[in-house]
Amino acid sequence: MGAQAILYGIKNCDTVRKARQWLESQGVSYVFHDYRVDGMAGVSLERWVDALGWEVLLNRASTTFRGLDPADKVDLDPVRATELMKAHPTLIKRPVVEWADRILVGFKPEHYAELFDKK
């Protein structure tokens, strides 16, 4: 396969667990980056925002988002949303997987199968 996948998320997130189980069951080599343990160093958040748009990455349904000061939730743009996600990594939808030159947000087995050509 060549490149090693990087899976970003939080260890105790159910969706991240499902993604990890799928990767392991398919024999996909990956490194796990836990936002809470490993922090945001090395996270390509600006590149993700450029590639996918901040709207795809920002989890507005999260407890963290609901708990933000109302002023932080209005007039969001790429810069402000990126700053919020850096300050509060749990605002990033999970998981995010990078493999080769592709970035995928969320987990659906059929999307992972397509990404890793495991159909």
Q: Select which of 13, 40, 68, 105 is catalytic.
A: 13
> Would you give the DSSP letter of residue 3?
S
Q: Which of 49, 102, 40, 114 is nearest to 78 (CA)?
A: 49
Which of 45, 18, 29, 30 lies closest to 110 in space, CA to CA?
18
Q: Catalytic residue at 116?
A: no
What is the set of active-site residues? 13
